[in-house]
Structure 1
Amino acid sequence: MIRKIILFFIVALAASSCENDIQAVMELDAKKAAVENGEDIVTIFSQGGKVTAKLLAPTMERSLERPPYVLFNNGLKVFMYNDTLGLESTLSAKKGKYMEDEGDVFLSDSVVVINKKGERLDTKELNYDPKRKIFYSREEVFIKTPTDSLHGWGLEANEDFSVKKILKVSGPITVEDSASLQ
């Protein structure tokens, strides 16, 4: 009989210690529900009924918390097109973050951009400002063209990378003679 009473108290004690705080459970569920995940991502961007870009990524994580954002932690590649679907440039990075409300894009880790002229930009970090419609960086940048190699710190470029400016140039620069252009 004493064994049964002791066993009853042990079971009662165990059952009473397994109580969950309902608020903690709800907060945990809210955090889990605030994230969407995807694999083998293909996103087509269009404006005015015309395709402007295509994004490919192996994985994507979308946070629904405020402010909402999308993470690409396993790399991404973006193909940017002109009005006739001609390829203007490609962009790749190992990591990316897109702020949904503002439209800002932050790319990092081995960022490479190649435009249709064959010019290549390499940097650790590249950002996109949708209000000014420019890409920019404050990090070290390397630009390789068919005829030259440029190095510096900081960059501003238009959306298709046809116009770009290194903010603080470092190293030799080849300048074409204007008389030879005529």
Structure 2
Amino acid sequence: MIKRALLYTLMTVAVCSCENDINAVMEFDSKKAATENGVDIVTIFSQNGKVNAKLTAPTMERSLDKPSYVAFKNGLKVFMYNDTLGLESTLSAKKGRYLEDEGNVYLSDSVIVINKKGERLDCNELNWDPKRKIFYSTKEVFIKTPTDSLHGWGLEANEDFSEKKILKVSGPITVEDSTAVMN
């Protein structure tokens, strides 16, 4: 009888001492539920029924907290296509972040863009505005073309990288002789 009374007492103490703060549980659940993760990511982007880009990445993390974002912490690669699915340019970076509310993409760490003419942009930070279809940066940039190498700070370029402007050029620049065309 004493054993049974002692057992009931211990069980009552154990049950009463195991209490969770409901606010702490809700906070833990909301933080855990506010993130989505994925591996081996392939995303196709299209407008008006036409594919214009394909993104691949080994991992992805999507935060549902405001402001919501998608982070690519282990690298990403984007293939940009023209209307006939011809490859216009490729973009790669070791890190990327897409802010869903803004619609902008922020790329960092070994960013490389190569267009179909073989021109190459190297930088450590590049922003992409898909709505305006432009790339821009305020950081150091290097551009290598088949005929020249350019260096400077700041960049504005269209999405297929066919038109680009370095805002503050540094180093030698090759200029074509405009009179050679006339002769």
For normalisation by structure 2, the TM-score amounts to 0.91
Q: What are structure 1's unaligned runs of at least 5 residues?
A: none
Three-state SS of the structure 1 residue aligned to 2:54 is strand
Q: Give the deviation of 1:179 after TM superposition.
A: 1.7
Partner of 1:54: 54
User: How many Å separate the matches in 2 of 1:88 and 1:131?
Assistant: 17
Give the RMSD, CA atoms, in angstroms.
2.0
Q: Give the deviation of 1:23 after TM superposition.
A: 0.9
Q: Give the deviation of 1:20 after TM superposition.
A: 1.2
2:120 is equivalent to residue 120 of structure 1: yes
Three-state SS of the structure 1 residue aligned to 2:114 is strand
Three-state SS of the structure 2 residue aligned to 1:28 is helix
2:161 is equivalent to residue 161 of structure 1: yes
Alignment of 1:137-156 (within 5 A): 137-156=137-156
User: How many Å separate the matches in 2 of 1:140 and 1:14?
Assistant: 63
User: How many Å separate the matches in 2 of 1:2 and 1:139?
Assistant: 78
Q: Give the deviation of 1:103 after TM superposition.
A: 0.6
Alignment of 1:1-182 (within 5 A): 15-182=15-182
Three-state SS of the structure 2 residue aligned to 1:24 is helix
Q: Give the deviation of 1:18 after TM superposition.
A: 3.2
Give aligned pairs, total.
182
User: How many Å separate the matches in 2 of 1:77 and 1:141?
Assistant: 19
User: How many Å separate the matches in 2 of 1:8 and 1:171?
Assistant: 85
Structure 1 residue identity aligned to 2:35: V
Structure 2 residue identity aligned to 1:164: K
Q: What are structure 2's unaligned runs of at least 5 residues?
A: none
User: How many Å separate the matches in 1 of 2:145 and 2:181?
Assistant: 18
- 1:181–1:8 CA distance, 2 compared to 1 (3 A): farther
Q: Give the deviation of 1:7 after TM superposition.
A: 8.4
Structure 2 residue identity aligned to 1:106: Y
Structure 1 residue identity aligned to 2:26: M
Give structure 1 regions of 4+ aligned residues with deviation exceeding 6 angstroms: 1-11
Structure 2 residue identity aligned to 1:124: N
User: How many Å separate the matches in 2 of 1:92 and 1:104?
Assistant: 16
Q: Deviations over 1:62-93 (max 9, x none)?
A: 11111211000000000000011110000000
User: How many Å separate the matches in 2 of 1:6 and 1:180?
Assistant: 105
